[in-house]
Amino acid sequence: MQAFAAEQAPVIERAEGFFLFDVDGRRYLDGISSLWCNVHGHRVPEIDAAVRAQLDRVAHTTLLGLRSPPSIELARRLVEAVPRGLNRVFYSDAGATAVEVALKLCVQYHAQRRDRPGQRRLFASVGGAYHGDTFGSISVGRSDHFHRAFAGMLFDSVALPSPVTYRIPAGETEESYLQFCFDEVERVVAQHAHELAGFIVEPLVQGAAGILVHPLGYLKHVREVTRKYDVPLIADEVAVGFGRTGTLFACEQEDVAPDVMCLAKGITGGYLPLAATITTDEIYSAFLGEPHEGRTFFHGHTYTGNPLGCAAALASLDLFERNNVLDNAARNSDILREELQQLARHPHVGEVRQKGVMIGIELVEDRDSKQPFPAERRTGHRVTLAARKRDCIVRPLGDVVILMPAPAMPGDLVRELCRATIESIDEATSL
Ligand X SMILES: *Cc1c(COP(=O)(O)O)cnc(C)c1O
Which one of the spans 57-65, 93-101, 106-114, 223-231 is the region binding ligand X (CB under 6 A)? 93-101
**Interface pick for ligand X out of 110, 131, 214, 388 (rule CB under 6 A):** 131
Q: List the interface residues with ligand X, window 266-325 (CB under 6 A).
A: none
User: Using the rule CB under 6 A, is 94 a contact of ligand X?
Assistant: yes
User: Using the rule CB under 6 A, is 238 a contact of ligand X?
Assistant: yes
In the bound state with ligand X, the residue whose beta carbon lies nearer, of 70 and 132, is 132
CA distance 243 to 407: 6
Strand, helix or coil for residue 405: coil
* Residue pair 378/7 in contact by the 8 Å Cβ criterion: no
CB 303 to ligand X: min, Å:
13
Q: Is the dihedral of CA 289, 293, 295, 301 positive or negative?
A: positive
User: Using the rule CB under 6 A, is 355 a contact of ligand X?
Assistant: no
**Interface pick for ligand X out of 107, 160, 233, 264 (rule CB under 6 A):** 264
Count, residues near ligand X per rule CB under 6 A: 15
User: Using the rule CB under 6 A, is 95 a contact of ligand X?
Assistant: yes
In the bound state with ligand X, the residue whose beta carbon lies nearer, of 37 and 386, is 37
In the bound state with ligand X, the residue whose beta carbon lies nearer, of 95 and 380, is 95
Which one of the spans 45-53, 127-135, 142-150, 383-391 is the region binding ligand X (CB under 6 A)? 127-135
User: Using the rule CB under 6 A, is 132 a contact of ligand X?
Assistant: yes
Helix (H) or strand (E) holding 139: helix 135-139
Phi, psi of 48 (to 5 degrees): -55, -45
In the bound state with ligand X, the residue whose beta carbon lies nearer, of 94 and 283, is 94
Least Cα distance to 266 among 323, 317, 203, 335 occurs for: 317
**Interface pick for ligand X out of 123, 130, 242, 373 (rule CB under 6 A):** 130
Alpha-helix residue ranges (DSSP H) falling in 168-288 = 174-192, 218-228, 281-285
Residues ≥6 apart with Cβ < 8 Å to 169: 177
Which one of the spans 65-73, 92-100, 102-110, 327-335 is the region binding ligand X (CB under 6 A)? 92-100
Which one of the spans 128-136, 186-194, 331-339, 420-428 is the region binding ligand X (CB under 6 A)? 128-136
Strand, helix or coil for residue 263: strand
Q: Count other Cβ atoms within 10 Å, centred on residue 111.
A: 15
In the bound state with ligand X, the residue whose beta carbon lies nearer, of 20 and 99, is 99
Type of residue found at 17: G
In the bound state with ligand X, the residue whose beta carbon lies nearer, of 265 and 346, is 265
Residues ≥6 apart with Cβ < 8 Å to 103: 123, 136, 137, 140, 197, 198, 200, 234
Least Cα distance to 399 among 413, 383, 387, 418 occurs for: 383
User: Using the rule CB under 6 A, is 236 a contact of ligand X?
Assistant: yes
CA distance 231 to 234: 10
User: Using the rule CB under 6 A, is 202 a contact of ligand X?
Assistant: yes
Q: Count other Cβ atoms within 10 Å, centred on residue 2.
A: 6
CB 10 to ligand X: min, Å:
21
Minimal CB distance residue for ligand X = 95
Residues ≥6 apart with Cβ < 8 Å to 99: 131, 132, 134, 136, 137, 140, 200, 234, 236, 238, 262, 277
Applying CB under 6 A, which residues contact ligand X?
A: 94-96, 99, 130-132, 202, 207-208, 236, 238-239, 264-265
